[in-house]
């Protein structure tokens, strides 16, 4: 059996640029067979998922749940703590969450929550590298975090690794910490 390396794939890909579209390039039959085997295997592969440990990961977690029983009340959001996780037999990778003390987080007038003054939208600008800031996420939680300019991620600690990473897609706004009072 032949081994196809990344370098070999890049070479084959570059031939189109070198010889132009519509040109024929001959590959050894063994390479064509191996490329076909790899392509077929990827087409027949099942998606990889690690949902087997999902219950342990989310039990005790604060969650935000959108609840809708009909079109009229779509978008009603509740917050609470997950106390129990059960598998849903009728859906692949489906789970039922038992949420304790679920509290509504929506205005009866339909107005969306407003971010108060002083908050800076992440779409407008990001903090300085390693700046300690307060972040506001899509779930409505606020916490102190450090921004890493190189990765574009927020971390729980300065110089943190991926284990301390806060999903930057969840952070919507940030605010610099106020200076300590002078004595």
Residues 6+ away with beta carbon under 8 Å from 139: 62, 63, 64, 79, 170
- Identify the segments of the chain with pLDDT beneath 50: 68-75, 107-112
List b or e across 35-65, with b for residues whose CB sees 16 or more CB atoms inside 10 angstroms.
beeeeeeeeeeeeeeeeeeeeeeeeeeeebe
Which secondary structure element, helix H or strand E, spans residue 41, and what is its range?
A: helix 29-44
pLDDT at 154 (0 to 100): 79
Confirm if 86 and 69 have CB atoms less than 8 A apart.
no
* DSSP codes, 130-165: T-EEEEEETTS-EEEEEEETTTTEEESSTT--GGGE
From residue 140, how far is each of 29, 90, 108, 168, 171 by CA, in Å? Answer: 58, 32, 18, 14, 10
d(CA 37, CA 131): 50
From residue 173, how far is each of 149, 162, 176 by CA, in Å? Answer: 16, 21, 11
pLDDT at 85 (0 to 100): 65
pLDDT at 109 (0 to 100): 46
């Amino acid at each position: 059996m032949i081994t196809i390396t990344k370098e070999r794939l890049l070479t084959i890909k570059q031939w189109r640029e070198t010889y132009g579209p519509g040109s024929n390039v001959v590959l050894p039959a063994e390479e064509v067979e191996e490329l076909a085997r790899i392509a077929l295997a990827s087409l027949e592969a099942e998606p990889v998922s690690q949902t087997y440990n999902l219950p342990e990961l989310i039990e005790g977690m604060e969650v935000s749940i959108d609840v809708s029983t009909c079109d009229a009340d779509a978008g009603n959001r509740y917050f609470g703590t997950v106390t129990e996780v059960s598998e849903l037999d009728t859906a692949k990778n489906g789970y039922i969450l038992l949420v304790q003390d679920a509290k509504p987080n929506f205005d009866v007038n339909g107005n969306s929550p407003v971010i108060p003054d002083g908050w800076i939208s992440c779409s407008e600008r990001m903090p300085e590298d390693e700046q300690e800031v307060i972040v506001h996420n899509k779930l409505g939680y606020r916490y102190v975090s450090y921004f890493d300019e190189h990765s574009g991620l927020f971390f729980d600690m300065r110089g943190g690794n991926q284990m301390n990473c806060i999903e930057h897609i969840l952070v919507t706004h940030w605010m610099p910490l106020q200076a300590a009072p002078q004595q």
